Amino acid sequence: MTLPMAVPAPGLPARVRIHEVGARDGLQNEKGTVPTEVKAEFVRRLAGAGLTTVEATSFVHPRWVPQLADAEQLFPMVSGLPVALPVLVPNERGLDRALALGARRVAVFASATESFAKANLNRTVDEALAMFEPVVARAKAEGVHVRGYLSMCFGDPWEGAVPVPQVVRVCRALLDLGCDELSLGDTIGVATPGHVRALLDALNAEGVPTASLGVHFHDTYGQALANTLAALQHGVTTVDASAGGLGGCPFAKSATGNLATEDLVWMLHGLGIDTGVDLDRLVATSVWMAGHLGRPSPSRTVRALSHDVSHKEQ
Ligand code: MG
């Protein structure tokens, strides 16, 4: 297998934690529903490839996300793995379901814009925050780690560019509720590196520490790695990515969505940044999953390396 030559660049972190979202954000946005056993094997293989945080599923009502309606069956099949397995919870009922199965990490999901809050949660931004308040409070009382996803941090398909202060306000509110970590989502992939830097600077100016921030870039316009590099230069060390580039956003015009974990790992390893990920095993996992989904991975790195992988497996 060809691997990037590691040539470190100044001003970058020594290690990055990849928050792998393929099994949740990825499969949630795929058209077809994957059998539960295949999902469980996917999570096992992702953990086996060295990913230390593997978002497993969502406890949203099955009516809204039928692709992940098997959360109750799936979670116990993977919960013994020695990795962090966050799950999405929209409300107290979802939290109850997750806690009953022993989940130790949960995530709530807010929107920086009114349009997406209405579309995704049928609430205003502030009504959604009010809904999350008891969820976060109860999770924290149970000693459970809480991530706060924030969608539409850069652009919104209905509202256009999203003002930085508007995003900062909701970030501040999520942290004030008790979230341990935020994930800044470029849900339609329109961000560019200067915008990323401006948002991170504005968050720091409002007292939000960089250590509490992760970034969640979409590659819709081919900007995800450039934006990631801008975030790394700012000191961000948590980066969301989806194995094989699975999933995307149903509201974005293009099918290209989540930053592919393999593309991210290629860049990070090329920069000499440690991720703990075995790229060969990760590519093999995405090739295997693409077989189940019936279409090739959109990841450039998977495409570039998958011949080597299939050759090796023969
Ligand atoms: Mg995403």
The per-residue pLDDT for 314 is 40
Residue 278 in domain: yes
What is the pairing mode between strands 155-156 and 181-186? Answer: unpaired
Sheet of 87-88: strand order equals: 53-54, 17-20, 238-241, 213-217, 181-186, 145-151, 105-111, 87-88, 57-58
Residue 108 in domain: yes
Tell me the CATH number at 166: 3.20.20.70
What CA–CA distances, in Å, run from 20 to 56, 61, 197, 214, 264? 9, 22, 23, 12, 11
Would you say residue 253 has pLDDT above 80? no
Give 32-91 pLDDT, tens digit per residue: 889 999 999 999 999 999 999 999 999 999 888 899 999 999 999 999 999 999 999 999
Cβ neighbors of 82 (< 8 A, separation 6 or more) are 47
Would you say residue 100 has pLDDT above 80? yes
Residue 119 alpha carbon to ligand 1 centre in Å: 16
User: What does the CA dihedral 49, 309, 227, 32 come to, rounded to 10 degrees?
Assistant: -80
- Mean pLDDT value across residues 120-142: 97
Residue 36 in domain: yes
Which residues are marked as active site? 249
Residue 222 in domain: yes
Give 206-232 pLDDT, tens digit per residue: 999 999 999 999 999 999 999 999 999
The per-residue pLDDT for 254 is 54
Under DSSP, the state recorded for 81 is S
Residue 189 alpha carbon to ligand 1 centre in Å: 9
Residue 187 alpha carbon to ligand 1 centre in Å: 6
Residue 9 in domain: no
Q: Which domain holds residue 295?
A: 17-313
The per-residue pLDDT for 308 is 60
The per-residue pLDDT for 248 is 65
pTM: 0.95
The separation between CA 214 and the C-alpha centre of its own chain, rounded to angstroms, equals: 9
Residue 2 in domain: no
Residue 186 alpha carbon to ligand 1 centre in Å: 8
Under DSSP, the state recorded for 260 is B
Q: Which of 146-155, 182-191, 291-300 has the lowest mean pLDDT?
A: 291-300
The per-residue pLDDT for 33 is 86
Q: How confident is the model at residue 119 (pLDDT cuts 50, 70, 90)?
A: very high
Count structural domains, the chain.
Answer: 1
- Mean pLDDT value across residues 85-100: 97
Residue 29 alpha carbon to ligand 1 centre in Å: 9
Would you say residue 250 has pLDDT above 70? no
The per-residue pLDDT for 309 is 55
Residue 244 in domain: yes
The residues that bridge with 149 in the sheet, in sequence order, are 109, 183
Residue 125 in domain: yes
DSSP H or E run through 264: helix 261-270
Question: Considering the chain, what percentage of its residues have pLDDT values greater than 90?
Answer: 88
- Average per-residue pLDDT for the chain: 94
